[in-house]
Structure 1
Amino acid sequence: MATAMAVPPLAPRPSPRPIAAWTPPKHHMEGKENRPALKQLQQTAQPNRPRRERPCDGCRRRKSKCVLQESKKCVLCEFHKQDCTFVENAQPRKRKADDGMKSDSPAKKSPAVTQRPLPPAPTPPRPKTESAPLVGVVQPSMRKPFAVDETLSLQRHRHCKYLGQTTALDASLIGLGNFNDKNETESRVGTLRQVTGSEYFSTHADADVQIPDDEARALAEIEQVVGPHGSALIDIYFRNVHPSYPIIQKRAFLDRHQHGDRRFNPPLLAAMYLLALAWWDQDPAVSSHSKPDVEKLEYIAITSLTISMQRPKISAVQAGLLLLQRPKSSTWTLTVQLVALGQDIGLHLDCSDWSIPRWETLLRKRLAWALYMQDKWSAVMHGRPSHINGADWNVSAPTEEDFDESIDPLPTPSEDVDPQVSKGRIVFMQMISLTNIMAEVCDTFYSEKAKAEYTSAGRYATQLVLNRAKPVQLKLKEWFAKLPTDCKMDSFTPGQLSSQGYLHLAYFATEISIHRRIVQSLDPATSDPYMLYICRSAAKTRLISALDFVNRLKPEHLDAFWYFASASNFALVGTFGALLMATSPGKEEAYFYACRLNEFKWTLTVSGKKAVWIHGALEMLDATSEMLRRLPEKPSATPTSELHLREFLGSGS
């Protein structure tokens, strides 16, 4: 009889080693030991070595610094798609006139120098296929190491994909691998990287993904469009967009940009330029020059983003979110693609204890919530189901510490933050809180399940809606009561842009979305007259408050950054007024709403001269006005109100 044996469970692999914090290179030291990308070489090299290691043949001919990767292929050879060999002899050095007596004989070389092992079967190098250098760009041979070299999702030559719990690769089995000091182990499906005791990513070389285009050409086309104004546009972006929409690590970006590295993600760079162009005429540094071709830049951005999404990286998500902030550019398809891309790199997970640089942790958190808001407000705008499920969302709300822009291992102590930047961060955090309430509004009143329940409730539908509306309204009221002073509409300095306008508009859109469902549930034939009066009076009050808010907008508000959903939210205000007008019991009340809608349209027309994106809301108002012309006749107490109402409907205002 066989004896049963107990199989012990697999012990999980210990938590990964923390990734060493990136530190800027010391410019007076030239050795490769300062490069974080060469940790493996650091371990084998001896201290105080007299000479550097031998470069590969390609880097020797280019006179470039050779950065060897774990694939035994240096960065530049991989970039130029050529073999990385060590078979050619060194060329004699050209000595200066006063250095003629010095000898460079091999006999004087120190025996302590560690040489790289030659490959067993070297192949002749391919002809060089270097791309044409970008104008005004420092070439890769002159670059220094950057903070992105140690990240998980921002590496320039690799991308990653999250391995979920239900995939064919079990975390317990992955933990059996041999991990190096970067918490990586090789496998047949790519290099696997551990970030926590149970979370893993597969990482892949960008060169492994065959794409029909190359980044160098897209970057060259972008720089050709913007000409010499690239740096000025970057300054405009970080001055006007970044404070209110902090989805880029400013110091890590500028660290590369200011040192001549232009090998950025093409759609991200193009998207930053496109958003900055909104302030072209107001900026004295560029306003006197011809504006770049916006349509051509948009085409490059969209086409290069399609290619970039094949290599999942944080930069692709950033690019997509920025492109969606442009007027009339928010598409449901791209939003859904970005949600999938974000899940591919694990943005829906809590990364607070991951073995990644601290600044990447903070960036991931901010970017995750930006993606969350994009999904929820896009669902409102397009009337579609949200694609982010709360049960699978494990990202805590950001705090002020999560906006630290330093790339040091520890938070920057007592750093003075510009008041405008501080205000933008607060508005961003408040928008996240408001979005959570709006998401609850959509689930409670506009989901398919909720709509079916209200339909089956029949004459009791209004009561059911009111019962469900009360707790959400209390949350919204509490949110508004606790709004920080910096977020108030009157908290701005004359002459300085102030971006809290989009936050208040989103608040009114959330309120209106609740009352819109209440008004839709009312039936004059079956509803209690008192309940009918109370509900319509409350809706009227909310509409008047929203219209007054629009009237109080200042140039400092209109010229600032506005969230992508703002034009749609303005249109929601007009739609709500049209709904109240259409459901009015008599001509007097309908005439009141007709007058207010006419004033609203005039205000938006005037404001649209400062904020061109408002024209999208005006187009929706025009469409609504055409529908109102088909209103059936309503009873009238006075002939005057009937005459005014006919004039309003006849003009299409």
Structure 2
Amino acid sequence: MRNQSTSSESFPPKPRKFYIQSQFGHPRTPRSRKNRPCDACRRRKTACIIPDKPPCLSCKSRGFDCISSSGAGPTASSPHPGSDASASDSQPLFSVNQASSTPVLPISRILNQNLDPGSASVTADGLLAPTQGISPRDPAAVPATYTLEDIPTKTAHCMGPTAEQDTYLLDAFRSVIMSEEEVDADIIQVYSGDRGSNEDPVHFLLLQDEFPEHTNRAMEAASHGIESTVWPYGPDLVRLFFRHIHPVYPIVSKVRFLRQYIRAKEEIPTSLRGAIYALACVFWNCDPSLRNRRSFVQHELLDHAHSALRRELESPSLFKLQACLLLLHLRPPEIDSVETPSTWILTSQAVACAQMMGLHRDPRPWNIVSSEKKLRKKLWWATYVTDCWSSISHGNPPHISADSFDTSPLDMEDVRFDEDVPDDLSSLVDSSDTSFRVVDGARFMKTVEIAQCLRTVLDCSFQIKPTRDPTIPSPKAQLIRARHTLVDWLNLLPQALGVGSAGGPLNLHNNIPLHLSYYAAQVLLFRALMHPATKEARVDPESNLRQWFSAALDEFKSFTTFMDSLCGDDLGCFWPRHTRSQLILCGNFLIYMFLLAYTPHDIEAAYRLLESFQQSLQRLETAESIDGRLVLRPVTLRINSFFAQASDLLKGASSSSTSIGVNVNTPMTPM
């Protein structure tokens, strides 16, 4: 007895082990030890909540099989329960370079090079526990390379400076947000910042893509409606899109889209499929093999695409941004003579989508795959161009301000990315569209350059409250610099981006919208230089109007020459939606110069330009292209209205001015 007592005093009793017989299939609350979680929730470290019987809330919302094996849960490398069996055999759309020296770590792991040992990590219960074994200050702690686009069932949202947590606090503590009520999120750091350059850390919030059942039903109905409408001609429409629209507006990630389309097209956002089908159906009769088959009504596809997009934007992605941008360029209604407000509203939607994904931030120093950096840059600048021209269409300030983004400029490699179609996908496009064409990339980059120059004009001359900063050049100096930029742009334009003669190659027809954007930018530049266009300025030799009028009149002759060179076949190319507003700007500027001309020589010269422009419009009105005629209609109405009322407008003109003979009912005199 003594020995036994001594022994018990020397060695403390071992703690008792409690064994709880767990089971699966009964109602379960979070952290329940009596009822096992399902394999999916155990693997994802998500609270498994079963109100009555399986499936749990998480599996039910995702459509997974809610099961629990008797052994340990599936490993991180095993396929996700309920996932497509072929998914493990398919490569991710954004693959990580295997030769990279930066290893790929789990997406939920927060890496921070300034972190001290002992920071928190997430346990199987979703609790925070000390991290053992590695410090980010250790040389072995190499930053991970992430993808922000191909995270299964999750969407990456950029956390800006005013997000729910301070960026430097997130930088100092490894943090993961896990919810006990099924909805979970994760935070990753893609850039640790550079305090020497005053660059803050960049974090993204990863949210679960979960929608109410009625939203899922609506999106499925839209997808079914689109595919049933185009069946069995969906692949033909895809081919037409990459033949006619993509060379002018190369914003769709070509190979990525084609690979997903041939693998499982229903996984492509409905809005993007609908936008591509709708834009392509306009060119149905351009293909002799399709001309005598059924055609499609664009608005039927458009309705389904917009219905889906309204719900899909709850989880923005690069594909959905591409849909936002494409849906702006559908055929305008025949009754419209001015741009509809929907263009401006859809633009704000695209800008918001881009900013939610952080496209307004420069991705070059981020720890994300190189291919995704290129696509993010290209889509940001496409959004920038859209915002610029949409704001001009309605006279509104742009959504994107000059100090609201730091995305680096485009280069040819950004535009080239994802354009060379591999052999296994070549059946979806014409043989001439399988390889990247440098001229297409150069055209897009030149379009961006025009928008950048135009933004200089807008920011220094068309603001509601102009900036009064003595450290920056005066508005006039900025405008003169912008004029030199536009002159250089045209003089240095490659020959391949010129405008060909009738019957020229297709790529020359595709250059027409680029040249039209140049002339519209030139109009706004001269309007800014000649501001204010008042009666007093018209008679004042020292006014801005008089100083710049002769240069504007002389340089804008090239616009009427450009219009005279167009033929009916040219109108059959893809016309971005903003070309209507650009033509209106150019036509109205001709009227502007005629009404503000002072000398008889200038009055007659301005009138001859108007005559030439009207003759070009009358000649092009007979073209077969419906879209071409719709582009010309608004400016044609304005020019015809001017000529119909020209005599009456000038009857009250000053009798003291010299009159000139022009081709109207009565002699015209200057104002």
Q: Taking structure 2 as the reference length, what is the TM-score of the superposition?
A: 0.69
Partners of 1:592 and 1:403 lie apart in 2 by: 42
**Counterpart in the other structure of 2:541:** 528
Residues 590-601 of structure 1: matches in 2 within 5 Å?
590=603, 593-601=606-614
Q: Check 1:513–1:258 CA distance in 2 against 1; reply closer, same or farther (3 A cut).
A: same
**Counterpart in the other structure of 1:294:** 298
Q: Does 2:490 match 1:480?
A: yes
Q: Check 1:632–1:404 CA distance in 2 against 1; reply closer, same or farther (3 A cut).
A: closer
**Counterpart in the other structure of 2:207:** 204
Q: Which moved more, 1:382-391 or 1:202-211?
A: 202-211
Q: Which moved more, 1:465-474 or 1:542-551?
A: 465-474
- Give 1:172's match in structure 2, choosing from 156, 164, 168: 168
Residue 491 of structure 2 aligns with an amino acid whose one-letter code is: A
| Deviation at residue 613 of structure 1 after TM alignment | 4.3
**Counterpart in the other structure of 1:470:** 480
Q: Check 1:345–1:640 CA distance in 2 against 1; reply closer, same or farther (3 A cut).
A: closer
* Aligned-partner SS, 2:576: coil
**Counterpart in the other structure of 1:438:** 454
Q: Does 2:357 match 1:345?
A: yes
| Deviation at residue 309 of structure 1 after TM alignment | 1.5
- 1:216–1:263 contact (8 Å) kept in structure 2: no
- 1:581–1:590 contact (8 Å) kept in structure 2: yes
Partners of 1:485 and 1:71 lie apart in 2 by: 59
- 2:416–2:441 contact (8 Å) kept in structure 1: no
CA RMSD after TM alignment: 4.1
**Counterpart in the other structure of 1:506:** 517
Partners of 2:170 and 2:375 lie apart in 1 by: 27
| Deviation at residue 580 of structure 1 after TM alignment | 1.5
Q: Check 1:625–1:288 CA distance in 2 against 1; reply closer, same or farther (3 A cut).
A: closer
Cα offsets for 1:441-460 (capped at 9, x unmatched): 1112211234999xxxxxxx
| Deviation at residue 287 of structure 1 after TM alignment | 1.9
**Counterpart in the other structure of 1:584:** 597
Q: Which moved more, 1:257-266 or 1:567-576?
A: 257-266
Higher relative contact order by CA 8 Å / sep ≥ 6: 1 or 2?
Answer: 1
Q: Which moved more, 1:289-298 or 1:239-248?
A: 239-248
Q: Does 2:92 match 1:147?
A: yes
Q: Check 1:78–1:545 CA distance in 2 against 1; reply closer, same or farther (3 A cut).
A: farther
Partners of 1:115 and 1:246 lie apart in 2 by: 48
**Which structure 1 segments of 5+ residues have no match?**
1-55, 59-65, 90-113, 119-124, 129-138, 409-415, 454-463
| Deviation at residue 574 of structure 1 after TM alignment | 0.5
Indicate the percent of aligned positions where both proteins have the same amino acid.
23
Partners of 2:660 and 2:161 lie apart in 1 by: 70
Q: Check 1:617–1:447 CA distance in 2 against 1; reply closer, same or farther (3 A cut).
A: farther
**Counterpart in the other structure of 1:421:** 437
* Aligned-partner SS, 2:186: strand
* Aligned-partner SS, 1:259: helix
Residue 548 of structure 1 aligns with an amino acid whose one-letter code is: T
Residue 486 of structure 1 aligns with an amino acid whose one-letter code is: A
| Deviation at residue 302 of structure 1 after TM alignment | 1.4
Cα offsets for 1:541-570 (capped at 9, x unmatched): 133211111111356643333333212111
Residue 515 of structure 1 aligns with an amino acid whose one-letter code is: F
Residue 479 of structure 1 aligns with an amino acid whose one-letter code is: W
Partners of 1:585 and 1:399 lie apart in 2 by: 46
Q: Does 2:99 match 1:86?
A: no
**Counterpart in the other structure of 1:457:** none
Partners of 1:203 and 1:507 lie apart in 2 by: 41
| Deviation at residue 77 of structure 1 after TM alignment | 8.6
Q: Does 2:642 match 1:622?
A: no
Q: Check 1:595–1:351 CA distance in 2 against 1; reply closer, same or farther (3 A cut).
A: same
Q: Which moved more, 1:577-586 or 1:157-166?
A: 577-586
Q: Check 1:331–1:84 CA distance in 2 against 1; reply closer, same or farther (3 A cut).
A: same
| Deviation at residue 270 of structure 1 after TM alignment | 0.4
- 1:149–1:156 contact (8 Å) kept in structure 2: no
- 1:232–1:285 contact (8 Å) kept in structure 2: no
Partners of 2:343 and 2:605 lie apart in 1 by: 35
Cα offsets for 1:247-286 (capped at 9, x unmatched): 2221111112122442210111100111111211101342
- 1:587–1:645 contact (8 Å) kept in structure 2: no
- 1:594–1:648 contact (8 Å) kept in structure 2: no
* Aligned-partner SS, 1:389: coil
- 2:600–2:659 contact (8 Å) kept in structure 1: no
Partners of 2:526 and 2:455 lie apart in 1 by: 15
| Deviation at residue 341 of structure 1 after TM alignment | 1.7
Q: Check 1:236–1:647 CA distance in 2 against 1; reply closer, same or farther (3 A cut).
A: farther
**Counterpart in the other structure of 1:116:** 73
- 2:245–2:574 contact (8 Å) kept in structure 1: yes
Q: Which moved more, 1:343-352 or 1:604-613?
A: 604-613
Residue 444 of structure 1 aligns with an amino acid whose one-letter code is: C
- 2:282–2:298 contact (8 Å) kept in structure 1: no
Cα offsets for 1:411-434 (capped at 9, x unmatched): xxxxx9978732111010111111
Partners of 1:470 and 1:116 lie apart in 2 by: 69
- 2:461–2:528 contact (8 Å) kept in structure 1: yes
Partners of 2:579 and 2:516 lie apart in 1 by: 7
Cα offsets for 1:587-637 (capped at 9, x unmatched): 886565445334423423443523624524432442465465562423578
Residues 195-594 of structure 1: matches in 2 within 5 Å?
195-197=190-192, 198-207=201-210, 212-214=215-217, 215-328=219-332, 331-406=343-418, 421-450=437-466, 469-490=479-500, 494-498=504-508, 499-522=510-533, 523-524=536-537, 527-528=540-541, 535-554=548-567, 557-585=570-598, 590=603, 593-594=606-607
Q: Which moved more, 1:326-335 or 1:315-324?
A: 326-335
Q: Does 2:213 match 1:193?
A: no
Q: Check 1:295–1:418 CA distance in 2 against 1; reply closer, same or farther (3 A cut).
A: closer
Partners of 1:229 and 1:382 lie apart in 2 by: 37
- 1:248–1:318 contact (8 Å) kept in structure 2: yes
Residue 237 of structure 2 aligns with an amino acid whose one-letter code is: L
**Which structure 2 segments of 5+ residues have no match?**
1-37, 49-54, 76-80, 96-146, 193-200, 333-339, 421-431
Cα offsets for 1:91-115 (capped at 9, x unmatched): xxxxxxxxxxxxxxxxxxxxxxx85
Q: Which moved more, 1:592-601 or 1:241-250?
A: 592-601
**Counterpart in the other structure of 1:103:** none
- 1:162–1:201 contact (8 Å) kept in structure 2: yes
| Deviation at residue 333 of structure 1 after TM alignment | 1.3
Q: Check 1:376–1:495 CA distance in 2 against 1; reply closer, same or farther (3 A cut).
A: closer
Partners of 1:79 and 1:552 lie apart in 2 by: 62
